[in-house]
């Protein structure tokens, strides 16, 4: 076992790594973020490194330092007795973020490792396990990661993450090919859900939600195809398509005298594209939509993937006049330190806190605290998942600024939203809400 005692976050024994995983699992029982374990197998030109050899120790030391530089201080790197490298991620939001972290780690291992007499190109293979999906004990997580590592060693892709049955409707390769075709053949379409001023019960903006009208599987929701889009890079042209189509629709509404703004979600992959600010500027210019009518929603995890770079990108886009909101607030990293540095004007409380706000005291306390935090920082606060009148009343009492959810309107296509926006009076009255019950939601799970 390589001794890494100079780094307090690197471990020098399998037992210590196991202990760290066990402690992380115990802590995760009381939090929303998940725990992930990664196992790296390293080889050179198809040959596995011999554990405990002189050259192996130098390689493992370099690999550990590179992995450490790409991770947070709370994460752990350990060289195990098997010759594998174990990584413990204390907090991830799910499989989508886990894949992003893995790709970042693969990138930091891509450069040759300099040794005394030569440079070595390392080919890592990675097995991954996520708690609680893949188990809630150390044994189950490590066993699952080992099984995925075995799969990765014989696969084209260097890592393996188990997908749930609903995500594994078709093979990854088939999804990728069909999704690529869907982007160019108008199988994707947009729905819109209003955000409502809770004080005046008036529509203030619309969130844009993309759907896939699959020729065989019917309407497919984003959770089932966005991970594939991100894995292949298709998320970048898909997001540009969503931006273009939603801005064109926004312009059409303005031509009808309906002054609404739209909110579009950005992936962490979009934020790493240097061309993004120029592309958004061009789309605004071509569609004739004012920048103030566009809001871009980003998640806490996408911010924390590379905070300094993200801040630079957001600042460039904000200089155009475009607004930003942090989506799913409270479920990702603790990014409070960056809230004052980011050019954001809004935080959206994740619906998991709102759904039980009328029956769960803990949820109620968390929601009120987030609202107070947002207001103290001069930010607008939006509550997602407002499903009933009681939740609406509670949020009004907490002085939350806006709400979004089925209590007001489910996600609907543009034609139905035009009717909703045009219906007098402008406020979202009970009569208007009942009228929208006839507009069936396109994905009840949203």
Q: Please state, in angstroms and rounded to a whole number, the distance separating the CA atoms of residues 51 and 16.
A: 19
Q: Please state, in angstroms and rounded to a whole number, the distance separating the CA atoms of residues 298 and 93.
A: 14
Phi, psi of 258 (to 5 degrees): -100, 105
Burial class (CB in 10 A: 0-12, 13-18, 19+), 440: exposed
Identify whether 446 is part of a domain: no
Identify whether 165 is part of a domain: no
Residue 308, pLDDT above cutoff 60:
yes
Identify whether 166 is part of a domain: no
Out of 160, 182, 215, a domain closes at: 160
Cα R_g (the chain), whole angstroms: 24
One domain, residues 176 and 142: no
Out of 135, 160, 185, a domain closes at: 160
Interval 370-395: pLDDT, tens: 999 999 999 999 999 998 999 999 99
One domain, residues 257 and 369: yes
pLDDT at 441: 37
Extended beta strands in 188-237, E state: 188-197, 202-214, 218-220
Max CA distance (Å), the chain = 79
Q: Please state, in angstroms and rounded to a whole number, the distance separating the CA atoms of residues 412 and 191.
A: 5
CB 131 within 8 A of CB 28: yes
One domain, residues 116 and 263: no
Summarize the chain as % helix, strand, coil (round to 5). 45, 20, 35
What is the mean pLDDT of the segment spanning 425-429? 47
**Which of 254-258, 305-309, 330-334, 429-433 has the highest mean predicted lDDT (pLDDT)?**
254-258
Identify whether 443 is part of a domain: no
Identify whether 442 is part of a domain: no
CB 428 within 8 A of CB 403: no
pLDDT at 54: 60
Q: Which domain holds residue 321?
A: 172-437
Q: Please state, in angstroms and rounded to a whole number, the distance separating the CA atoms of residues 436 and 191.
A: 14
Estimate the crossing angle of helix 235-255 against helix 172-184, to 10 degrees: 30
Residue 400, pLDDT above cutoff 90:
yes
Burial class (CB in 10 A: 0-12, 13-18, 19+), 183: middle
Residue 397, pLDDT above cutoff 90:
yes
DSSP collapsed to 3 states, 291-316: HHHEEEEEEHHHHHCCHHHHHHHHHH
Number of separate domains in the chain: 2
Interval 85-130: pLDDT, tens: 999 998 887 777 788 788 788 878 877 887 766 777 787 889 998 8
Helix (H, G, I), strand (E, B) or coil at 282: helix
CB 388 within 8 A of CB 407: yes
Q: Residue 349 corresponds to which tokens in the numbers above?
A: 């409380």
Q: Residue 321 corresponds to which tokens in the numbers above?
A: 């006049």
Out of 118, 137, 160, a domain closes at: 160
One domain, residues 246 and 384: yes
Identify whether 32 is part of a domain: yes
Is the bond preceding 126 in cis, omega lying within 30 degrees of 0?
no
Identify whether 3 is part of a domain: no
One domain, residues 256 and 401: yes
Instruction: Identify the CATH number of the domain in which residue 112 sits.
Output: 3.30.70.270
Query: What rounded mean pLDDT belongs to the chain?
Result: 81
One domain, residues 206 and 227: yes
pLDDT at 9: 44
Q: Read off the DSSP letter of residue 438.
A: G
Residue 321: band (very low, low, confident or very high) from pLDDT cuts 50, 70, 90? very high
One domain, residues 184 and 295: yes
One domain, residues 326 and 212: yes
Tracing tokens 């996600």 back to the chain, one arrives at 411
One domain, residues 219 and 335: yes
CB 260 within 8 A of CB 203: yes
One domain, residues 146 and 268: no
Task: Kindly report each contact of residues 110-117 with a partner whose C-beta sits within 8 Å and lies 24 or more positions away, as own/partner.
Answer: 113/58, 113/59, 113/62, 113/63, 114/62, 115/55, 115/58, 115/59, 116/58
> Taking the C-alpha atoms of 50, 56, 59 and 62 in order, what is their torsion angle to the nearest 10 degrees?
120
Among 15-19, 282-286, 316-320, 365-369, whose mean pLDDT is lowest? 15-19
Tracing tokens 């739209």 back to the chain, one arrives at 262
Higher pLDDT, 281 or 409: 281
Q: Closest by alpha carbon to 328, among 344, 306, 347, 355?
A: 347
Q: Please state, in angstroms and rounded to a whole number, the distance separating the CA atoms of residues 255 and 217.
A: 36
């Amino acid at each position: 076992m390589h001794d890494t005692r100079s780094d307090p976050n690197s471990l020098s024994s399998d037992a210590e790594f196991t202990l760290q995983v066990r402690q992380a699992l115990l802590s995760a029982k009381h939090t929303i973020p998940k725990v992930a374990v990664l196992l790296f197998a390293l080889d050179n030109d198809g040959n596995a490194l011999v554990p405990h050899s002189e050259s192996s120790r130098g390689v493992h030391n370099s690999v550990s330092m590179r992995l450490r530089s790409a991770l947070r201080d709370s994460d752990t790197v350990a060289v195990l007795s098997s010759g594998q490298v174990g990584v413990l991620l204390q907090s991830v939001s799910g499989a989508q973020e886990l894949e992003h972290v893995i790709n970042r780690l693969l990138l930091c291992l891509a450069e040759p490792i300099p040794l005394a007499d030569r440079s070595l190109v390392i080919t890592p293979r990675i097995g991954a396990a996520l708690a609680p999906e893949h188990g809630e004990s150390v044994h189950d997580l490590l066993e699952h990661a080992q099984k995925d590592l075995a799969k990765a060693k014989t696969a084209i892709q260097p890592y393996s993450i188990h997908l749930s049955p609903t995500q594994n409707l078709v093979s990854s390769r088939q999804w990728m090919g069909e999704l690529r075709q869907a982007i160019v053949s108008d199988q994707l379409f947009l729905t819109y859900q209003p955000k409502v001023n809770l004080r005046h019960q008036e529509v203030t903006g619309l969130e844009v939600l993309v759907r896939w009208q699959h020729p065989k599987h019917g309407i497919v929701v984003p959770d089932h195809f966005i991970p594939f889009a991100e894995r292949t890079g298709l998320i970048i042209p898909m997001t540009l398509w969503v931006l273009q189509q939603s801005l064109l629709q926004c312009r059409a509404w303005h031509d009808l005298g309906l002054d609404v703004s739209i909110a579009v979600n950005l992936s962490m992959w979009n934020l790493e594209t240097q061309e993004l600010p120029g592309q958004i500027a061009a789309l605004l210019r071509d569609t004739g939509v004012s920048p103030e009518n566009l809001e871009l929603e980003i998640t806490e995890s996408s911010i924390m993937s590379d905070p300094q770079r993200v801040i630079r990108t957001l600042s460039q886009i904000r200089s155009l006049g475009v607004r930003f909101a942090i989506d799913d607030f409270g479920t990702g990293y603790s990014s409070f330190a960056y809230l004052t540095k980011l050019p954001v004007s809004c935080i959206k409380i994740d619906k998991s806190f709102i759904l039980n706000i009328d029956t769960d005291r803990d949820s109620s306390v968390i929601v009120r605290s987030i609202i107070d935090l947002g207001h103290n920082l001069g930010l607008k606060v939006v509550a997602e998942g407002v499903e009933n009148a009681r939740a609406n009343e509670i949020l009004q009492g907490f002085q939350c600024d806006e709400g979004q959810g089925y209590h007001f309107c489910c996600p609907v296509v543009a034609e139905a939203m035009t009717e909703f926006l045009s219906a007098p009076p402008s406020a979202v009255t009970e009569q208007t809400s009942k009228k929208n019950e006839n507009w069936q939601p396109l994905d009840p799970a949203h």
